[in-house]
Amino acid sequence: MTSQRSTSSVLYYQRMKDFAQALFRSVVPTILLVLLTGGVVLDVLITEGLEEDFDELMIAKALGLIALAEDGDDGVEMENYEVTLPNYALAENAEYFQLVNDSGKALINSASLSYWEDSGHPFPGLNERDNQALLSVTLPDGRPGRLLRKRFVPRLDYDEDGAFGFPLEMDAQFLDFPGEPGIIRIQQLVEPDNKPITIERQPLTLQLAVGRASLDSLLYKVHSVLLLTGLSIMLVIVLLARRSINKAVKPLRVMAVELHDIDEQRFNERLRTDSNVNELHDLAQSVNVLLGRVDAAFERERRFSGDVAHELRTPLAELRTLLDVTERWPDDPAIKQTFSTDVRDVTDRMQRIVETLLQLSRSEQGFDLLINCQDLTELVRHCAGKLEQAAQDKRITLQVHMTDTAIGCIGLDQWQSICGNLMENAVEYATEGSQVDIELKPATDGLIQFSVTNQTSNLTESDLDNMFERLWQKDTSRTSSLHSGLGLALVRSCAKQIGGEVKATLSQDKLTILVVAPALA
């Protein structure tokens, strides 16, 4: 038995382990997926932010170049940019720019472009994805880079000996890219008369190309940090989740093993309730309450089986005695005369026990039909009338208190068992010469109240909890030949079947049993 119990415990432990793994597989992947999604979104947002900052820096550089571009007497020129902006004059890791007109002709090239004229990597032209102002390209030196294209009208600066015959200055103007190609006409007020004139200007496009190695390096570091951080967090989550789930499931494993070890001989054992988790503590307490009920039910069944055997053993012993006496003195006329009567009395007692048990079983299982009774008062009078002779023999007065108004109820057969058993018990156990009060109150709030009160001298308060148990008798020697201790158990079962309840109270040696049940609607 011990070996089988140990094997079963191991199997239960393995099943709980499988439960923990299933819980882990259902929870952790979801957490990891959410974390992975958040990491990807964060990486995309950071990448976009860094690229936007890089592009903003390129725009700032383009504005600086545009500020240096000037359309003067000698045409478009950018003076001394090699000094102020040396990045555009280097041979290695240089930055590049080019000023082109709408026809694509290069007017000015940065000095850095001269080092790579024969490199096989020409400077991107306007015809390459010409609808995009910002795009990724390959630089003339073969490095990956970003290209910014800005369309504008350069700053105008003519002296009085210039083409217009008077000094003329005009700030640079920015245009949309790619825009419509062609000459742009601009009106300008000329001092000193502030006379407006129309000036035709040729738009130019600045193409600025910058290597993105620094940006790519930064993005690589960001991706690496996010990846390593994400993997580390995932690993920590997996380890912590596995540990937490195992720790949370451990009480369930212990509870499962303890429950499995409880068999029909060990219902008095209880689960431990020392868990720090409120839900598990409540679960263990609920299971312990259930075990208590099962233990009490098994104890009642064991006691019931013994009581039934005892009840049947007495009449069977009487039958055996009658047969032995008849066999020993077969010709005794007195024995012959009483034999049949004695046998009939014994078999009638056994039959009453068996029939009451069957009736109790049907009632507890709900097999009896619920037939409406139109007048419960008539049923009470009928049951009381059947006991008048038995009451007179014990000089007991039966007092019936009820109105003449008909009271409808549910469950004719059930009420007949309730009234008959309560009245018979009251007459049987009432003190000789006392009074038995039978009261039936009209329906109040849809409920009927029926009570039977009798004088008693040998009951205590502790007996009230046991008197509705099957085969319970105050006389443990069970010498009564008329009662088997099933009547009150049948009363309680019938009351429950019709939706009512039964209560017993003891006051000044008077026992009152009250039945409250629904009236007929």
* Euclidean distance between CA atoms 133 and 58, whole angstroms: 12
422-434 average pLDDT score: 88
The model's confidence at residue 296, banded by pLDDT at 50, 70 and 90, is confident
Q: Which amino acid is at 400?
A: V
Cα–Cα distance, 108 to 94 (Å, whole number): 16
Tokens of 446: 């849809």
In this predicted structure, what is the pLDDT of residue 81?
Answer: 77
Give me the DSSP letters along 465-483: GTTTSTT--S-TT---SS-
β-strand pairing of 96-101 with 204-211? antiparallel
Residue carrying structure tokens 């009632």: 363
Is 30 buried (19+), middle (13-18) or exposed (0-12) by CB count in 10 A? exposed
H/E segment holding residue 102:
none
pLDDT above 90: percentage of residues in the chain: 16
Average pLDDT on 26-33 reads 89
Opening angle at CA 234, ends 230 and 240, nearest 5 = 145
Considering the chain, what percentage of its residues have pLDDT values greater than 70?
79
CA distances from 487 to 103, 143, 419, 440 (A): 117, 104, 10, 20
Helix (H, G, I), strand (E, B), or coil: what is residue 275? coil
Q: Quickly state the pLDDT bin for 126 (edges 50, 70, 90).
A: low
Average pLDDT over residues 330-352: 75
**String of DSSP letters for 387-424:** THHHHHHTTPEEEEE--SS---EE-HHHHHHHHHHHHH
Spatial distance between the Cα atoms of 158 and 76, rounded to a whole number of angstroms: 12
Q: For residue 135, give every residue at least 6 positions away whose Cβ sits within 8 Å of its Cβ, in sequence order, or none.
A: 128, 129, 146, 147
Lowest-pLDDT range of 69-73, 354-358, 377-381, 500-504: 354-358
pLDDT higher than threshold 60 for residue 385: yes
Range with the largest mean pLDDT of 8-12, 18-22, 159-163, 225-229 = 225-229
Q: Which region among 91-105, 332-346, 426-440 has the lowest average model confidence (pLDDT)?
A: 332-346
- pLDDT(409) > 60: yes
Give the angle subtended at the CA of 334 by the CAs of 328 and 340, to the nearest 5°. Answer: 85
For residue 89, the model assigns a pLDDT of 81
* pLDDT confidence tier of residue 450, bands split at 50, 70 and 90: very high
Burial class of residue 305 in the structure, from the number of CB atoms within 10 Å of its CB (0-12 exposed, 13-18 middle, 19+ buried):
exposed
pLDDT for 25 beyond 90:
no
CB 505 within 8 A of CB 459: no
Q: Is 155 left (phi over 0), alpha (psi -120 to 50) or beta?
A: beta
Residue range 144-163: average pLDDT?
Answer: 77
Query: What would the mean pLDDT of 182-204 be, rounded to a whole number?
Result: 71
The answer to whether 422 and 513 are in contact (CB under 8 A) is yes
357 vs 45, which has greater pLDDT?
A: 45
Q: Do residues 391 and 397 make contact, with C-beta atoms less than 8 angstroms apart?
A: yes
More confident residue, 212 or 122: 212
Instruction: Give the pLDDT confidence score for residue 250 in this predicted structure.
Output: 77
List, in order, residues 6 or more apart from 219 with CB less than 8 Å away: 47, 50
Domains of the chain: 1-253 (no CATH), 262-367 (1.10.287.130), 369-518 (3.30.565.10)
**Which phi and psi angles does 22 have, rounded to 5°?**
-65, -40
- Taking the C-alpha atoms of residue 145 and residue 353, their distance in angstroms, rounded to an integer, is 104
pLDDT for residue 105 is more than 50: yes
Stretch among 83-97, 261-275, 368-382, 483-497 having the lowest mean pLDDT: 261-275
pLDDT for 55 equals: 92
Considering the chain, what is the average pLDDT of its residues? 79
pLDDT-based confidence at residue 222 (cuts at 50, 70, 90): very high
The more confident residue out of 357 and 318 is 318
Task: Report pTM.
Answer: 0.51
Q: Which residues, in sequence order, are bridge partners of residue 152?
A: 174, 204
Residue 161 has pLDDT above 60, yes or no: no
Residue type, 198: T
With 80 as the cut, is the pLDDT of residue 152 above it? yes
pLDDT for the residue numbered 138: 87
Distance CA 425, CA 421 (A): 6
pLDDT at 163: 52
Q: What pLDDT is stored for residue 234 in this prediction?
A: 92
- pLDDT of residue 113 exceeding 80, the answer is yes
Q: How confident is the model at residue 363 (pLDDT cuts 50, 70, 90)?
A: low
Predicted confidence band of residue 216 (pLDDT cuts 50, 70, 90) = very high
Confidence of residue 3 (pLDDT cuts 50, 70, 90): very low
Instruction: Please say if the pLDDT value at position 520 is more than 70.
Output: yes
Cα–Cα distance, 513 to 450 (Å, whole number): 8
**Overall average pLDDT of the 131-156 stretch:** 86
With vertex at residue 69, the alpha carbon angle to CA 64 and CA 74, rounded to the nearest 5 degrees, is: 165
pLDDT at 136 exceeding the cut of 90? no
**Residues composing the chain:** 521
